[in-house]
Amino acid sequence: MIVIKREMYMKRIRPFIGTELIKVMTGIRRCGKSVMLELIKEELVESGISSAQFISINFENLNFSHLQTAKSLHDEITKRAAEINGKVYLFFDEIQEVKDWEKCINSLRVSLDCDIYITGSNAKLLSGELSTYLGGRFVEFVIYPFSFAEFLELYRPIAPDKPIQKCFQKYLLSGGMPYLANIRYEDAPSKLYLHDLFNSVQLKDIVKRNKIRDVDLLERIIAYVIANVGTTFSATFLAKFLKNEKRTVAPETILNYIRYCCDAYLFYQVKREDLQGKQILASNEKYYIADHGIREAVFGGNMRDISLILENIVFLELLRRDYKVTVGRTGDKEIDFVCDKGGEKLYVQVTYLLASDETVQREFGAYDNIRDNYPKYVVSLDEFDMSRNGIKHRNIRDFLLAEEWN
Protein backbone atom coordinates (compact mmCIF):
# COMPACT_ATOMS: atom_id res chain seq x y z
CA MET A 1 0.00 0.00 0.00
CA ILE A 2 1.49 3.35 -1.06
CA VAL A 3 1.05 6.00 1.63
CA ILE A 4 1.97 9.68 1.79
CA LYS A 5 2.11 11.79 4.92
CA ARG A 6 -0.96 13.99 4.61
CA GLU A 7 0.63 16.86 6.45
CA MET A 8 -2.21 19.30 5.70
CA TYR A 9 -4.47 17.21 7.94
CA MET A 10 -1.85 16.01 10.40
CA LYS A 11 -0.91 19.54 11.40
CA ARG A 12 -4.57 20.21 12.26
CA ILE A 13 -4.99 16.94 14.18
CA ARG A 14 -1.63 16.99 15.99
CA PRO A 15 -2.56 19.58 18.67
CA PHE A 16 -5.44 17.31 19.78
CA ILE A 17 -3.46 14.05 20.02
CA GLY A 18 -3.41 12.86 23.63
CA THR A 19 -6.23 15.19 24.70
CA GLU A 20 -9.60 14.00 26.00
CA LEU A 21 -11.50 15.42 23.01
CA ILE A 22 -12.78 12.74 20.64
CA LYS A 23 -11.13 13.11 17.23
CA VAL A 24 -13.66 12.49 14.45
CA MET A 25 -12.64 12.16 10.79
CA THR A 26 -15.36 12.16 8.16
CA GLY A 27 -15.38 12.13 4.37
CA ILE A 28 -16.46 10.10 1.35
CA ARG A 29 -15.82 6.37 1.48
CA ARG A 30 -12.18 5.47 0.64
CA CYS A 31 -10.84 9.02 0.65
CA GLY A 32 -8.05 8.03 3.04
CA LYS A 33 -9.60 8.20 6.52
CA SER A 34 -8.21 4.80 7.58
CA VAL A 35 -4.75 5.90 6.47
CA MET A 36 -5.09 8.96 8.72
CA LEU A 37 -5.62 6.57 11.66
CA GLU A 38 -2.41 4.74 10.67
CA LEU A 39 -0.47 8.03 10.40
CA ILE A 40 -1.67 9.01 13.89
CA LYS A 41 -0.55 5.61 15.26
CA GLU A 42 2.88 6.11 13.66
CA GLU A 43 3.26 9.49 15.36
CA LEU A 44 2.20 8.03 18.71
CA VAL A 45 4.78 5.24 18.42
CA GLU A 46 7.46 7.77 17.44
CA SER A 47 6.60 9.76 20.57
CA GLY A 48 7.30 6.68 22.72
CA ILE A 49 3.82 5.15 23.14
CA SER A 50 3.69 1.36 22.85
CA SER A 51 1.43 -0.08 20.15
CA ALA A 52 0.29 -2.58 22.81
CA GLN A 53 -1.83 0.31 24.13
CA PHE A 54 -3.78 0.53 20.83
CA ILE A 55 -7.17 -1.07 20.21
CA SER A 56 -8.22 -0.82 16.55
CA ILE A 57 -11.50 -1.96 15.00
CA ASN A 58 -12.70 -1.52 11.42
CA PHE A 59 -16.45 -2.11 11.46
CA GLU A 60 -16.54 -2.94 7.75
CA ASN A 61 -14.53 -6.05 8.58
CA LEU A 62 -16.90 -8.99 9.12
CA ASN A 63 -14.68 -10.32 11.91
CA PHE A 64 -16.08 -7.51 14.04
CA SER A 65 -19.73 -7.81 13.00
CA HIS A 66 -20.57 -9.15 16.47
CA LEU A 67 -19.58 -5.74 17.89
CA GLN A 68 -22.15 -3.70 16.00
CA THR A 69 -24.22 -2.71 19.03
CA ALA A 70 -23.26 -0.19 21.71
CA LYS A 71 -23.42 -2.82 24.48
CA SER A 72 -21.33 -5.52 22.78
CA LEU A 73 -18.69 -2.97 21.74
CA HIS A 74 -18.58 -1.44 25.20
CA ASP A 75 -18.15 -4.84 26.89
CA GLU A 76 -15.39 -5.89 24.47
CA ILE A 77 -13.39 -2.64 24.85
CA THR A 78 -13.76 -2.60 28.65
CA LYS A 79 -12.48 -6.20 28.79
CA ARG A 80 -9.51 -5.51 26.48
CA ALA A 81 -8.65 -2.21 28.18
CA ALA A 82 -8.39 -3.95 31.56
CA GLU A 83 -5.36 -5.88 30.21
CA ILE A 84 -3.54 -2.70 29.11
CA ASN A 85 -1.22 -0.72 31.35
CA GLY A 86 -1.48 3.06 31.05
CA LYS A 87 -3.58 5.11 28.67
CA VAL A 88 -5.63 3.24 26.07
CA TYR A 89 -5.75 4.52 22.46
CA LEU A 90 -8.96 3.59 20.65
CA PHE A 91 -9.27 3.65 16.85
CA PHE A 92 -12.72 2.96 15.40
CA ASP A 93 -13.08 2.93 11.61
CA GLU A 94 -16.53 3.44 9.96
CA ILE A 95 -18.24 3.78 13.34
CA GLN A 96 -21.65 4.47 11.76
CA GLU A 97 -22.04 0.68 11.37
CA VAL A 98 -22.53 0.41 15.15
CA LYS A 99 -26.06 0.99 16.42
CA ASP A 100 -26.17 3.73 19.10
CA TRP A 101 -22.39 4.08 18.95
CA GLU A 102 -22.59 7.53 20.57
CA LYS A 103 -23.69 6.03 23.91
CA CYS A 104 -20.80 3.57 23.85
CA ILE A 105 -18.16 6.18 22.94
CA ASN A 106 -19.40 8.59 25.59
CA SER A 107 -19.35 5.89 28.25
CA LEU A 108 -15.80 4.80 27.30
CA ARG A 109 -14.68 8.44 27.38
CA VAL A 110 -15.99 8.79 30.94
CA SER A 111 -14.95 5.41 32.36
CA LEU A 112 -11.50 4.81 30.81
CA ASP A 113 -8.23 6.72 30.67
CA CYS A 114 -8.33 6.85 26.89
CA ASP A 115 -7.68 8.80 23.70
CA ILE A 116 -10.37 8.16 21.05
CA TYR A 117 -10.20 8.45 17.24
CA ILE A 118 -13.18 7.61 15.04
CA THR A 119 -13.97 7.78 11.32
CA GLY A 120 -17.26 7.73 9.44
CA SER A 121 -18.60 8.21 5.93
CA ASN A 122 -21.55 10.39 6.80
CA ALA A 123 -21.79 14.13 7.41
CA LYS A 124 -24.69 13.57 9.81
CA LEU A 125 -22.46 11.44 12.02
CA LEU A 126 -22.13 14.40 14.35
CA SER A 127 -25.60 15.83 14.21
CA GLY A 128 -28.41 15.48 16.69
CA GLU A 129 -27.71 12.45 18.83
CA LEU A 130 -23.96 12.77 19.10
CA SER A 131 -24.04 16.41 20.00
CA THR A 132 -26.40 15.55 22.86
CA TYR A 133 -24.15 12.83 24.25
CA LEU A 134 -20.84 14.49 23.57
CA GLY A 135 -21.80 18.16 23.84
CA GLY A 136 -18.66 19.97 22.70
CA ARG A 137 -16.32 17.10 23.57
CA PHE A 138 -15.30 16.25 20.03
CA VAL A 139 -13.37 17.88 17.22
CA GLU A 140 -14.15 17.07 13.58
CA PHE A 141 -11.86 16.94 10.56
CA VAL A 142 -13.27 16.47 7.05
CA ILE A 143 -10.87 14.44 4.90
CA TYR A 144 -10.94 14.96 1.13
CA PRO A 145 -9.54 12.99 -1.83
CA PHE A 146 -6.03 14.00 -2.93
CA SER A 147 -5.30 17.57 -3.90
CA PHE A 148 -3.24 18.13 -7.06
CA ALA A 149 -0.12 18.52 -4.84
CA GLU A 150 -0.80 15.17 -3.11
CA PHE A 151 -1.56 13.51 -6.46
CA LEU A 152 1.82 14.72 -7.80
CA GLU A 153 3.66 13.18 -4.83
CA LEU A 154 2.42 9.77 -5.95
CA TYR A 155 2.21 10.24 -9.72
CA ARG A 156 5.67 11.74 -10.21
CA PRO A 157 7.52 8.52 -9.23
CA ILE A 158 5.26 6.56 -11.67
CA ALA A 159 5.83 8.99 -14.57
CA PRO A 160 9.06 10.86 -13.76
CA ASP A 161 9.54 12.26 -17.27
CA LYS A 162 6.05 13.68 -17.78
CA PRO A 163 5.88 17.49 -17.92
CA ILE A 164 3.60 19.13 -15.35
CA GLN A 165 1.00 19.93 -18.04
CA LYS A 166 0.60 16.19 -18.76
CA CYS A 167 0.46 15.39 -15.03
CA PHE A 168 -2.39 17.87 -14.63
CA GLN A 169 -4.18 16.34 -17.60
CA LYS A 170 -3.96 12.97 -15.86
CA TYR A 171 -5.36 14.51 -12.66
CA LEU A 172 -8.26 16.00 -14.68
CA LEU A 173 -9.30 12.48 -15.69
CA SER A 174 -8.20 10.35 -12.72
CA GLY A 175 -9.12 12.59 -9.82
CA GLY A 176 -7.74 12.19 -6.32
CA MET A 177 -8.87 8.86 -4.89
CA PRO A 178 -5.82 7.57 -2.95
CA TYR A 179 -6.02 3.89 -3.97
CA LEU A 180 -5.38 4.67 -7.65
CA ALA A 181 -1.66 5.02 -6.92
CA ASN A 182 -1.60 1.29 -6.08
CA ILE A 183 -2.79 0.48 -9.61
CA ARG A 184 -0.33 3.04 -11.01
CA TYR A 185 -3.14 5.25 -12.33
CA GLU A 186 -3.68 2.86 -15.26
CA ASP A 187 -6.81 3.83 -17.18
CA ALA A 188 -8.94 0.67 -17.29
CA PRO A 189 -8.30 -0.55 -13.70
CA SER A 190 -8.75 3.01 -12.36
CA LYS A 191 -12.10 3.39 -14.11
CA LEU A 192 -13.28 0.05 -12.80
CA TYR A 193 -12.20 0.90 -9.25
CA LEU A 194 -13.93 4.30 -9.32
CA HIS A 195 -17.09 2.76 -10.76
CA ASP A 196 -17.18 0.19 -7.95
CA LEU A 197 -16.54 2.90 -5.38
CA PHE A 198 -19.41 4.98 -6.77
CA ASN A 199 -21.76 1.98 -6.64
CA SER A 200 -20.71 1.26 -3.09
CA VAL A 201 -21.34 4.88 -1.96
CA GLN A 202 -24.71 4.82 -3.71
CA LEU A 203 -25.78 1.50 -2.23
CA LYS A 204 -24.32 1.53 1.30
CA ASP A 205 -24.18 5.21 2.18
CA ILE A 206 -27.26 6.50 0.37
CA VAL A 207 -29.80 3.74 -0.45
CA LYS A 208 -29.37 1.51 2.63
CA ARG A 209 -28.75 4.26 5.14
CA ASN A 210 -31.81 6.26 4.09
CA LYS A 211 -33.98 3.22 3.24
CA ILE A 212 -34.63 4.50 -0.29
CA ARG A 213 -37.13 2.38 -2.18
CA ASP A 214 -37.15 4.18 -5.53
CA VAL A 215 -33.55 3.47 -6.54
CA ASP A 216 -34.26 4.23 -10.20
CA LEU A 217 -35.31 7.79 -9.29
CA LEU A 218 -32.23 8.25 -7.11
CA GLU A 219 -29.97 7.09 -9.96
CA ARG A 220 -31.58 9.56 -12.38
CA ILE A 221 -31.18 12.45 -9.95
CA ILE A 222 -27.54 11.56 -9.26
CA ALA A 223 -26.82 11.25 -13.00
CA TYR A 224 -28.36 14.69 -13.58
CA VAL A 225 -26.34 16.37 -10.81
CA ILE A 226 -23.10 14.67 -11.96
CA ALA A 227 -23.69 15.82 -15.54
CA ASN A 228 -24.37 19.37 -14.37
CA VAL A 229 -21.75 19.96 -11.65
CA GLY A 230 -21.14 23.63 -11.04
CA THR A 231 -24.23 24.81 -12.91
CA THR A 232 -27.16 26.55 -11.24
CA PHE A 233 -29.54 23.91 -9.91
CA SER A 234 -33.33 24.08 -9.73
CA ALA A 235 -35.34 21.20 -8.23
CA THR A 236 -38.47 22.52 -9.95
CA PHE A 237 -36.74 22.40 -13.33
CA LEU A 238 -35.51 18.84 -12.67
CA ALA A 239 -39.02 17.79 -11.60
CA LYS A 240 -40.36 19.04 -14.97
CA PHE A 241 -37.53 17.29 -16.81
CA LEU A 242 -38.36 14.00 -15.04
CA LYS A 243 -42.06 14.47 -15.75
CA ASN A 244 -41.22 14.49 -19.47
CA GLU A 245 -39.56 11.13 -18.87
CA LYS A 246 -42.83 9.86 -17.33
CA ARG A 247 -41.58 10.16 -13.74
CA THR A 248 -43.74 12.35 -11.51
CA VAL A 249 -41.82 13.56 -8.49
CA ALA A 250 -42.13 16.51 -6.11
CA PRO A 251 -39.24 19.03 -5.92
CA GLU A 252 -39.04 18.31 -2.14
CA THR A 253 -38.29 14.64 -2.85
CA ILE A 254 -35.54 15.63 -5.26
CA LEU A 255 -33.98 17.92 -2.64
CA ASN A 256 -34.20 15.16 0.00
CA TYR A 257 -32.43 12.70 -2.28
CA ILE A 258 -29.70 15.23 -3.03
CA ARG A 259 -29.34 15.94 0.69
CA TYR A 260 -28.72 12.21 1.27
CA CYS A 261 -25.98 12.38 -1.38
CA CYS A 262 -24.42 15.39 0.38
CA ASP A 263 -24.60 13.52 3.71
CA ALA A 264 -22.59 10.70 2.08
CA TYR A 265 -20.06 13.32 0.86
CA LEU A 266 -20.77 12.47 -2.78
CA PHE A 267 -21.85 16.06 -3.48
CA TYR A 268 -21.17 19.43 -1.87
CA GLN A 269 -23.74 22.20 -1.98
CA VAL A 270 -22.70 25.83 -2.50
CA LYS A 271 -25.22 28.53 -1.72
CA ARG A 272 -25.50 31.85 -3.54
CA GLU A 273 -24.87 35.08 -1.70
CA ASP A 274 -26.01 38.57 -2.62
CA LEU A 275 -22.83 40.55 -1.92
CA GLN A 276 -24.58 43.91 -1.84
CA GLY A 277 -27.44 42.90 0.46
CA LYS A 278 -25.09 40.53 2.36
CA GLN A 279 -27.68 37.77 2.42
CA ILE A 280 -27.77 34.12 1.41
CA LEU A 281 -30.22 33.54 -1.45
CA ALA A 282 -32.82 30.86 -0.91
CA SER A 283 -32.66 29.04 -4.25
CA ASN A 284 -30.52 28.22 -7.27
CA GLU A 285 -27.60 26.74 -5.39
CA LYS A 286 -24.80 24.80 -7.12
CA TYR A 287 -23.45 21.31 -6.48
CA TYR A 288 -19.95 19.94 -6.95
CA ILE A 289 -18.80 16.31 -6.81
CA ALA A 290 -16.39 15.01 -4.14
CA ASP A 291 -14.04 13.63 -6.75
CA HIS A 292 -13.99 14.56 -10.44
CA GLY A 293 -12.35 11.20 -11.25
CA ILE A 294 -15.59 9.48 -10.19
CA ARG A 295 -17.43 11.73 -12.66
CA GLU A 296 -15.12 10.71 -15.51
CA ALA A 297 -15.49 6.99 -14.66
CA VAL A 298 -19.28 7.03 -14.26
CA PHE A 299 -20.40 9.74 -16.67
CA GLY A 300 -17.37 10.69 -18.80
CA GLY A 301 -16.85 14.00 -20.57
CA ASN A 302 -14.43 15.73 -18.16
CA MET A 303 -12.44 17.10 -21.10
CA ARG A 304 -15.59 18.21 -22.90
CA ASP A 305 -16.83 19.99 -19.74
CA ILE A 306 -13.37 21.18 -18.76
CA SER A 307 -14.51 24.60 -17.46
CA LEU A 308 -16.84 22.93 -14.95
CA ILE A 309 -14.18 20.40 -13.91
CA LEU A 310 -11.61 23.15 -13.30
CA GLU A 311 -14.21 24.88 -11.12
CA ASN A 312 -14.83 21.62 -9.26
CA ILE A 313 -11.09 21.16 -8.63
CA VAL A 314 -10.65 24.73 -7.35
CA PHE A 315 -13.76 24.47 -5.15
CA LEU A 316 -12.45 21.36 -3.39
CA GLU A 317 -9.05 22.96 -2.92
CA LEU A 318 -10.78 25.89 -1.18
CA LEU A 319 -12.59 23.46 1.15
CA ARG A 320 -9.35 21.57 1.84
CA ARG A 321 -7.79 24.83 2.96
CA ASP A 322 -10.65 25.45 5.36
CA TYR A 323 -12.49 28.23 3.53
CA LYS A 324 -16.25 28.68 3.76
CA VAL A 325 -17.40 29.13 0.17
CA THR A 326 -20.41 30.75 -1.50
CA VAL A 327 -21.22 31.85 -5.06
CA GLY A 328 -21.31 35.67 -5.12
CA ARG A 329 -23.78 37.86 -6.95
CA THR A 330 -23.42 41.61 -7.45
CA GLY A 331 -26.11 43.10 -9.67
CA ASP A 332 -26.10 41.07 -12.87
CA LYS A 333 -22.56 39.75 -12.35
CA GLU A 334 -21.58 36.50 -10.66
CA ILE A 335 -18.35 35.54 -8.91
CA ASP A 336 -17.59 31.82 -8.92
CA PHE A 337 -16.26 31.61 -5.37
CA VAL A 338 -16.44 34.03 -2.46
CA CYS A 339 -14.27 32.51 0.25
CA ASP A 340 -13.99 33.31 3.92
CA LYS A 341 -11.61 32.01 6.58
CA GLY A 342 -11.83 33.67 9.98
CA GLY A 343 -13.05 36.97 8.48
CA GLU A 344 -10.30 37.05 5.81
CA LYS A 345 -11.85 37.02 2.35
CA LEU A 346 -10.68 35.78 -1.03
CA TYR A 347 -12.44 35.93 -4.41
CA VAL A 348 -11.82 33.41 -7.20
CA GLN A 349 -13.02 33.33 -10.81
CA VAL A 350 -12.31 30.11 -12.74
CA THR A 351 -12.31 29.82 -16.53
CA TYR A 352 -10.83 27.43 -19.11
CA LEU A 353 -8.85 29.90 -21.24
CA LEU A 354 -8.78 33.68 -21.55
CA ALA A 355 -8.90 33.20 -25.31
CA SER A 356 -10.78 36.32 -26.40
CA ASP A 357 -11.18 39.92 -25.27
CA GLU A 358 -14.79 39.10 -24.48
CA THR A 359 -13.74 36.33 -22.03
CA VAL A 360 -11.10 38.56 -20.44
CA GLN A 361 -13.73 41.28 -20.03
CA ARG A 362 -16.25 38.87 -18.50
CA GLU A 363 -13.87 37.21 -16.03
CA PHE A 364 -12.04 40.31 -14.83
CA GLY A 365 -15.22 42.42 -15.11
CA ALA A 366 -16.97 40.19 -12.55
CA TYR A 367 -15.08 42.21 -9.92
CA ASP A 368 -16.24 45.64 -11.18
CA ASN A 369 -18.72 46.16 -8.33
CA ILE A 370 -16.45 44.90 -5.55
CA ARG A 371 -14.75 47.71 -3.77
CA ASP A 372 -12.88 45.97 -0.93
CA ASN A 373 -9.14 45.22 -0.85
CA TYR A 374 -9.22 41.45 -0.37
CA PRO A 375 -7.28 39.33 -2.93
CA LYS A 376 -9.11 38.74 -6.22
CA TYR A 377 -8.02 35.99 -8.59
CA VAL A 378 -8.81 34.85 -12.10
CA VAL A 379 -7.59 31.27 -12.55
CA SER A 380 -7.27 29.55 -15.96
CA LEU A 381 -5.14 27.13 -17.98
CA ASP A 382 -3.32 30.01 -19.74
CA GLU A 383 0.47 29.89 -19.43
CA PHE A 384 0.97 33.69 -19.56
CA ASP A 385 0.29 36.07 -16.70
CA MET A 386 -2.58 38.35 -17.68
CA SER A 387 -3.05 40.11 -14.32
CA ARG A 388 -4.58 43.60 -14.51
CA ASN A 389 -6.14 46.35 -12.36
CA GLY A 390 -4.92 44.73 -9.13
CA ILE A 391 -6.67 41.45 -10.05
CA LYS A 392 -4.23 38.53 -10.07
CA HIS A 393 -4.26 36.02 -12.90
CA ARG A 394 -2.79 32.58 -12.15
CA ASN A 395 -2.33 29.38 -14.10
CA ILE A 396 -4.53 26.82 -12.34
CA ARG A 397 -1.62 24.45 -11.62
CA ASP A 398 0.37 27.24 -9.94
CA PHE A 399 -2.73 28.31 -8.01
CA LEU A 400 -3.35 24.77 -6.71
CA LEU A 401 0.31 24.25 -5.78
CA ALA A 402 0.80 27.64 -4.07
CA GLU A 403 1.54 27.38 -0.34
CA GLU A 404 -0.77 30.32 0.27
CA TRP A 405 -2.83 32.87 -1.64
CA ASN A 406 -2.49 36.52 -0.77
The H-assigned helical ranges of 228-369 are 235-244, 251-263, 292-298, 306-320, 357-365
Q: Could you list the beta-strand ranges (E) of 84-235.
A: 88-93, 114-120, 138-142
- Please state the domain extents for the chain: 7-142, 148-401
| DSSP SS3 for 128 | coil
98 contacts 70 by C-beta, under 8 angstroms: yes
Q: Is 70 left (phi over 0), alpha (psi -120 to 50) or beta?
A: alpha
Q: Is 294 left (phi over 0), alpha (psi -120 to 50) or beta?
A: alpha
Give the whole-angstrom CA distance, residue 387 versus residue 390.
Answer: 7
Query: Which pLDDT score is estimated for 284?
Result: 83
**CATH: 3.40.50.300, 3.30.470.20, 3.40.1530.20, 3.40.50.11740. Which one for 7-142?**
3.40.50.300
Q: Which amino acid is present at 318?
A: L
Give the whole-angstrom CA distance, residue 4 versus residue 39.
Answer: 9
> What DSSP string runs through 294-329?
HHHHHT--TTTTHHHHHHHHHHHHHHHTT-EEEEEE
Query: Which pLDDT score is estimated for 272?
Result: 93
Give the whole-angstrom CA distance, residue 302 versus residue 312.
Answer: 11
**Close Cβ partners of 320 (under 8 Å, ≥ 6 residues apart):** 8, 144, 147
Q: Averaged in consecutive runs of 10 residues, what is the pLDDT profile of the chain (406 residues)?
A: 90 96 96 97 97 97 94 97 97 94 92 97 77 82 98 97 98 98 97 98 96 97 97 95 94 97 97 86 90 98 98 98 96 94 96 96 95 96 96 98 93
Q: Report residue 364 CA to chain centroid gap.
A: 29
23 contacts 59 by C-beta, under 8 angstroms: no
pTM: 0.96
Query: Which pLDDT score is estimated for 278?
Result: 78
Query: Which pLDDT score is estimated for 406?
Result: 81
CA distances from 153 to 6, 116, 342 (A): 11, 30, 30
| Sheet order of strands, 272-274 included | 279-280, 272-274, 324-330, 333-341, 344-350, 376-380, 392-395
